[in-house]
Amino acid sequence: MNWFTGLIVYALVWWLTLFAVLPFWTRPVADPENPEHFRGAPERPLLLRKAVATTVVAGIIWLGIWAVIESDLISFRALEAG
């Protein structure tokens, strides 16, 4: 895997991981009738914590993908005829 492919794979893994991490550490608003706060939004989104967690988890997942690709456990090359 070259550096460009690795970067693209990491970006895809990071975004997928972000959507998996977003629901963590959320609590609904205490007063849902408060006009200043949207009913479906969490009280404290903690986006920096979620971005850090996403980066760490995506890095671990990416290392696993890189190890599988570099070890040739799964071949991504076309089979040669003959």
Q: What is the pTM of this model?
A: 0.78
Q: Token match 């990071």: residue?
A: 14
Q: What is the mean pLDDT of residues 14-28?
A: 92
CA nearest 50: which of 76, 68, 24, 31? 24
Q: Which residue has the higher pLDDT, 37 or 19?
A: 19
Please give the single-letter amino acid code of residue 75.
S
Contact (Cβ atoms closer than 8 angstroms) between residue 17 and residue 61: yes
CA nearest 59: which of 22, 6, 20? 6
Q: Which residue has the higher pLDDT, 10 or 34?
A: 10
DSSP state of 26: -
Q: What is the mean pLDDT of residues 2-11?
A: 95
Q: What is the pLDDT of residues 42-59, one digit of tens each?
A: 888 899 999 999 999 999
Task: Using pLDDT thresholds of 50, 70 and 90, give the confidence band for residue 80.
Answer: low
